[in-house]
Every structure is written in C-alpha cells, then in structure tokens.
C-alpha cells in the first residue's frame, strides 16, 4: 500500500500589512508555484510529491495544501515569489486615453499612475478620451477578464449630462431599450440626477463601444459630459479627478466574489 505522506502543520500565517491589502487570498500550492513562473501546475504537483517544496520551512508532500502570498515557499532550495497583484482605482480626467500606450503620444491612464505603483498594470475596459470617472487598473488578468466578460453582468453607472432636460418619455425609452446599429441596448436603471436638472444616472450591464453616447443619441439628444461613478460595486466618491488610490482588501474580496472567484463562505472580513 502507498504510504500516506506526512501532513506537516504550517505555522500561523504572518500578520497582514497594509501593503498586502487585497492580495492575501489563499491559493493551492501548485497554483502559487505556477504563478511564480517556476513550472506548470502539473509539474508543480510532481515537485510537491517528490518532497522538493517547503512552506514556511516544512517540507510538504500533500497536493491539497493551500498557501497565502505571505507564506515563504521554497522550491528546490530556492525561494519563489508569485506576481503580487495590485488594484488601482483612478478617477480619470478628460483628455486622457484609457489604453496602455498611444501612438500620438497623448496622455494615457498609465502615465497617471505608473511611476507611483512601480508595476505594470492594465486598464479593465475602456472609457472614451473625454469621459471622466472610475477606471480600474490591475495586473490580475483573471479578475480583469471576468469583470469584462458579459456573463458576469458587471454593473456600470454613468452620470450623463445632456444639453436639455430629458423628458419622461426619453427616460422610458432608455429603460425599455433602443435600437443601435449593432443591436438593441437597454439601461438596467435610469434615474434623474438629484441636483443637476440636465443630468441622469444610467446603469448598464454591457460595455459596447460608445454605448452610452449612442443610446442617448438614439433618443434624440446628445451627451455633453459623461462620468462613470460606479463600476463593479466600487464608487468614485471621495477621489478627486486625476487622483488614484489602491483598493482595500474588502473591496478586492467583494469584487472577486462578484465574479465568482471567491464563494460567499470564503469572504472573511
């Protein structure tokens, strides 16, 4: 009979620091090793079974073991570091491109944050050059992919200013759906702005190109100012235009839960 491997008890994980915020998810050891670029997950399983992996100083041979980013993992005598994920929320100003580079050398969202973060991050989705407001940037490709995928139905809320006050009929048309050249589109929710008479708050699920502008044009008006105020449950409140901040741990966990990268039971706050 095959001898059962010794399950060694792992020491208590280190206390989280502020810099760890949002990055301390528990992941399987093979995934941790693979994300450090050492080898594939399958090859990592082999290294674990062969007793070549240590976690916090203990050899582990059990394939089911889970670790935290803050744990010390040594493979074949070398300490490894998986890519640390960072999550940045930027209040994008006007006249800024939301791609990573621009052939005309115009200011990009990356220019606004990169020197400060010191890491390569990518915008999750796009905002038009003159749209202001919330844009998320991260190096967490799996999360970004899910946030942008229509099947996860991530909600985006825009504050839309028009030259004239929209009529009740126009708002109803947005709720019921308008015809765009690439198919029908409808707002998930539309409310009048509590203060600005010529503005509405419109919530959409899809993220088609220039979708808000095209929907407003389809009801016979136009957008004079567009600002994204909510994305995937995150709000732009308290962040001045052009400024950015890191997401906190609670925000990252909630977002991961939203796109089913974390189940409800795992959400310990």
- Binding residues for ligand URA, rule: CB under 6 A, are 127-128, 131, 210-213, 226
Our CB check for ligand URA shows the closer of 52 and 213 to be 213
Our CB check for ligand URA shows the closer of 60 and 127 to be 127
Catalytic one of 20, 128, 168, 263: 128
Please name the helix (run of DSSP H) or strand (run of DSSP E) that holds residue 93, with its range, or none.
none
Our CB check for ligand URA shows the closer of 228 and 256 to be 228
User: Could you tell me where the beta strands, DSSP code E, fall in 115-208?
Assistant: 122-123, 132-138, 156-161, 178-180, 183-185, 189-192, 199-204
**Is 191 among the residues known to form the active site?**
no
- Residue 80 corresponds to which tokens in the numbers above? 């490894």
CB of 64 to ligand URA, least distance (A): 43
> What b/e readout covers 135-174, taking b as 16+ CB neighbours within 10 angstroms?
bbbbbbeebbebbeeeeeebebbbbbbbeeebeeebbebb
Contacts 24+ apart (CB under 8 A), 186-192: 187/215, 188/155, 189/157
CB of 207 to ligand URA, least distance (A): 7
CB of 211 to ligand URA, least distance (A): 5
What Rg, from alpha-carbon coordinates, does the chain have?
23
Our CB check for ligand URA shows the closer of 92 and 249 to be 92
CB of 144 to ligand URA, least distance (A): 17
CB of 175 to ligand URA, least distance (A): 17
Instruction: Answer whether 220's CB lies under 8 Å from 112's CB.
Output: no
Instruction: Answer whether 224's CB lies under 8 Å from 208's CB.
Output: no
Which residue in this structure is represented by tokens 């004079």? Answer: 224
Our CB check for ligand URA shows the closer of 83 and 102 to be 102
Catalytic residues: 128
């Amino acid at each position: 009979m095959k001898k059962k491997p010794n399950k060694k008890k792992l020491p208590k994980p280190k206390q989280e620091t502020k810099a760890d915020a949002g990055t301390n998810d528990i992941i399987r050891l093979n995934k941790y090793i693979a994300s450090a670029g050492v080898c594939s997950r399958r090859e990592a399983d082999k290294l674990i079974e062969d007793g070549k992996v240590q976690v916090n100083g203990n050899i582990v041979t059990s394939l089911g073991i889970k670790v935290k980013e803050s744990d010390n993992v040594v493979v074949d005598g070398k300490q490894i570091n998986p890519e640390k994920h960072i999550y940045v929320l930027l209040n994008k100003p006007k006249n800024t491109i939301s791609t990573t580079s621009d052939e005309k050398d115009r200011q990009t969202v990356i220019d606004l944050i990169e020197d400060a973060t010191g890491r390569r991050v990518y915008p999750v989705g796009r905002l038009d050059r003159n749209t202001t407001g919330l844009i998320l940037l991260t190096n967490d490709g799996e999360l970004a992919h899910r946030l942008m995928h229509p099947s996860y139905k991530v909600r985006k809320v825009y504050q839309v200013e028009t030259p004239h006050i929209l009529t009740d009929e126009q708002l109803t048309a947005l709720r019921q759906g308008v015809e765009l050249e690439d198919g029908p589109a409808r707002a998930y929710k539309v409310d009048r702005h509590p203060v600005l008479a010529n503005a509405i708050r419109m919530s959409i699920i899809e993220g088609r190109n220039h979708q808000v502008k095209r929907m407003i044009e389809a009801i016979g008006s136009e957008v004079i100012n567009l600002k994204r105020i909510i994305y995937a449950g995150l709000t732009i409140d308290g962040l001045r235009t052009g400024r950015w901040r890191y997401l906190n741990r609670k925000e990252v966990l909630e977002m991961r839960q939203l796109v089913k990268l974390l189940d409800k039971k795992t959400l310990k706050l």
